[in-house]
Structures are given as C-alpha cells and as structure tokens.
Amino acid sequence: MKAPFNTNMYRVSPWDFDAEVTKNFDFAKDIKFHDVTLRDGEQETGVVFLPQDKVEIARQLAKIGIDRIEAGMPAVSEQDAEACKQIAAECKTADVFAFARCMLVDVEKALSCGCKGIILEISTNRQMVEKAYNKDYEWAKQAAIDATLAAKEKGLFVSFFCIDSTRSDINDLLSIVGDVAEKGHLDSVTLADSFGCIIPEGYAAMVRKVKDTLGKPVEAHCHMQFGLGTANTLAALAAGANVAHITCCGLGEGAGNTPYEEVIMALRCMYGIPLNHLHTEYFMETAKMVCEKANNHALPVNRPVLGERVFEVESGIGVMFNANAAKHNDQELLYTFNPAMVGQKYMDFVMGKKSGSFTIDLWLERMGRLEGVTKEQKNEMLEKVKAFAFRKKNTLTVPEFEAIVDEVIGKPAVKPTPGNPILDQQVSRAGEQWLKDRKIYEIDL
C-alpha cells in the first residue's frame, strides 16, 4: 500500500502528512460545501445569470455533489426569486439556500421560494454599521435578532452571516453573535472575510475563538483580494469550521471568492480527506458552462486545477523527464494529480520555443515519420521550430510542424502510419481506471 501522499492518482509532499504538522488539525467529520456561484459569484462586475442559466448551473452543481446551493437573493428581483423557486422545487441532492438581509420582508421572500435554509447578513464591524449603513450598532443587533427569530419560526435553517467579521472588534463580534444566539436564533455562524484581508493563522484563531466561546458551528466565507481565499478556507476547516463557502472558478465580486476546485482538490490530495460524495471529474465541464453563462469571465490558461494548458508540457527538459519516467513505468511521478480527477485532458507535449530533441522524437513517432531521420535532420527541425515559434509567439500546430518536417526530409511518398509512443499512456490508463472505479453516474436535479 502506498503512502497517503504517494498514490497512483496524485503525488504530494510527505510534509503534508507529518505528525508535527497534523497534530492540531480539527477537521469536522462531515465537511460540507456551500456554493455561492449563483449569488456572490454573480456579483462579479459584468456577470448576469438569466433564470435559466441559474437552473442549469444548479443542476451541474448537484451533479458534482455539492451539499448546499445558494440559489440567489430573492429580494433582488422577480427573476432571482423565480430562479430560486425553480431550483428549490427541482433540487433533490442538495439543500437550497436563499441569501437575505436581516429584514422580515427578505425572510418572507426566501420562505415563498421554498428554500430549506437562509443566509441572513448584517455587518458586525461597528465602523461599517455606523459609517456605511449609517445606523446605530444596537440597530444591527436588533435587526439580526428579529430576522433570525422570524426565520426560525418559519422552519428555516439559519446561518447568521457576519459581514466584514475579520475587521470587526472581537468583543463586538462575540457580543452581537451571542445576542442573536440567545435572543434570536442561529444554527451556524458564517465568518465572512468580506475584504479578503486576513492571514490563514489569524482566520484559524478566529474560528477557534468563536467556536469555543459560542459553541456553535462555524462556516468559512473568504474573498481573494490578497489571493489567500483558498489558504484561509483550508485553515478555517483545519481549525474546526464545518462548512466552506465556495464558487466555481473563483467567480465573485472584486478579486473573486474562494474557488471550490482548489479547496476540494487540496483537501482530497494534500490533507487526505476523501470527500467521496463529490464527483470532481465534472469540474472541467462545469467550469466551461459557468464561464460561458457568465459572459466575459474567461479562465486564465494556467489557472490552478482548471486552466486549459495546466497539463501541457513545452520545455524540453520536462518532456525528457516524462520520457525517462515512462521507461521506468512511472510517469505519474511528474504530475501532482491525474487530470482525470477534474475532467481535464491528459498530459500533452506541445511543440514550441522551449522544446528539445525529445519533443522532436515524440512528435515524429506520433506522425509515423521517426524511422530513418538523422540526428542532423532533427537538429535542423528543432532550429526551424524555435524560429517559427519565436515569430508566432506561441506553440506550433501539427500541420505547422509537418510543414517543417517536409521541408527538411521531403514529403512522404505514402501516407505514414501513426506511431504508438508510450510516453503519455500511463497517466491515461491510471485516469481511465480511476474513472471506472468511481462509477460515474448522472444525477438529476
């Protein structure tokens, strides 16, 4: 049996599982994922989801196995309310939540949509309440008490969402949450790092403080202004938070929200938490759907986990490493996780400015034209490839490389039979077996 950091589907650092590193971890036995793509994700500038878009995305999230879907904020518009109603009526595999202000009318709207739960928001930062809301702090407390009590009476699961909690005075935060727990109602507390401004160590300490003081479940909601949303969410979970708020591809206002693909894959591969109820193999198709529906939200090609070129290798030394590892029947040595785990294409070896002789051999073999080509001819091809890629400022297509081959050794009299290189077969076989073992199935919403 392989070590937990060294499996046939991913290879990570043994330090991830070192006893000194993990001794203080306090992960919940049942971590849940609360997807906010349809509400907080839509708050990204320029993104508009039509009601049918939201329903289609919700179906896809259910297919992945996401535990909770925040369908939207019904009070925003009739279109949002209609989408919430449809998702709540059709959803069979996830709990559907509505997002709402601490206002009775918002609670009624959420109830009319048939949602199971409600996220009730108000700021716990005294400065925000007094200067941005232009209200008294006691007003915020009373509004939260009234709204959460009304939601409880209606039978809704209540998560009290503390806007800007990470910049709140801890005594103010504990005071307002304590009053809501005592005089109103809450089933959990969401600590929102609304401005993405806390470090992982600070967020973990905050989670422990709130959890220990109030004895209530804590949910993590992080933003990416400093790029720490994933790290903060993981730190919160390790400190005992039991729900992670996430979005597809980090969609969200400003710098975005925490990407679920990063959190879930890190938990699975680097923390050893199986999360077997989640079908990560649908991540890529979900990302493409969400980005298409979100209009101008294009994924960077090198984005973690889901970038379209993450599993492409151009550097000559990278291809050499893979070729040599393949000879030892251990090509998975050179990837962190198998692309099949997230629905990505298998590793590909592209031709470009950074290519070397191993890439020339591989492409010639794939084309069935390796036999008889001299070292000098390969070197000439490589020089022409580099010059072409430099002018193009990109990698070469197969026809472009074929033209270079024809120029150097002439066109073949008979169409060559494609070769069968072993270089990229092992990762493919491992991924295919994993998908077979996963027993992929379609989930109806």
Q: Does residue 317 form part of some domain?
A: yes
* Predicted pLDDT of residue 1: 44
Structure-derived torsion over alpha carbons of residues 300, 303, 309, 315, reported in degrees to the nearest 10:
110
**80 and 192: one domain?**
yes
Which CATH number belongs to the domain containing residue 214 in this structure? 3.20.20.70
**235 and 316: one domain?**
no
Bridge partners of residue 101, in order along the sequence: 121
DSSP 69: E
**125 and 61: one domain?**
yes
* 174 vs 209: CA distance, rounded Å: 9
Residue whose tokens read 């595999």: 93
Q: Does residue 393 form part of some domain?
A: yes
Last residue of a domain, one of 239, 260, 293: 293
**20 and 152: one domain?**
yes
Q: Does residue 8 form part of some domain?
A: no
Q: Smallest Cα–Cα separation from 113: which of 91, 128, 93, 133?
A: 91
Q: Does residue 390 form part of some domain?
A: yes
Q: Which two tokens stand for residue 275?
A: 């999360």
Q: Which residues of the chain have pLDDT under 50?
A: 1, 443-445
Q: How many domains does the chain have?
A: 2
* 7 vs 158: CA distance, rounded Å: 40
- Structural domain of 414: 312-430
**319 and 267: one domain?**
no
Angle (CA) 290-291-292 rounded to 5° is 90
Residue 77 backbone phi and psi in degrees, to 5: -165, 165
Q: Does residue 391 form part of some domain?
A: yes
**145 and 277: one domain?**
yes
**68 and 162: one domain?**
yes
387: number of Cβ within 10 Å:
12
Q: Does residue 441 form part of some domain?
A: no
Q: Which two tokens stand for residue 355?
A: 């290519």
**133 and 170: one domain?**
yes
Q: Does residue 407 form part of some domain?
A: yes
* Region for residue 301 given its phi and psi (left: phi exceeds 0; alpha: psi -120 to 50; beta: otherwise): alpha
DSSP 223: B
**83 and 207: one domain?**
yes
Q: Smallest Cα–Cα separation from 422: which of 341, 351, 350, 330?
A: 330
Query: Which residues does 387 contact at the CB level (< 8 Å), separation at least 6?
Result: none
**288 and 344: one domain?**
no
| pTM, 2 dp | 0.94
Last residue of a domain, one of 225, 258, 293: 293
Last residue of a domain, one of 293, 320, 347: 293
**116 and 18: one domain?**
yes
pLDDT in tens, 377-396: 999 999 999 999 999 999 99
Q: Which two tokens stand for residue 7?
A: 């499996």
Q: Which two tokens stand for residue 116?
A: 């199971």
**171 and 108: one domain?**
yes
Q: Does residue 5 form part of some domain?
A: no
Query: Which residues does 131 contact at the CB level (< 8 Å), separation at least 6?
Result: none
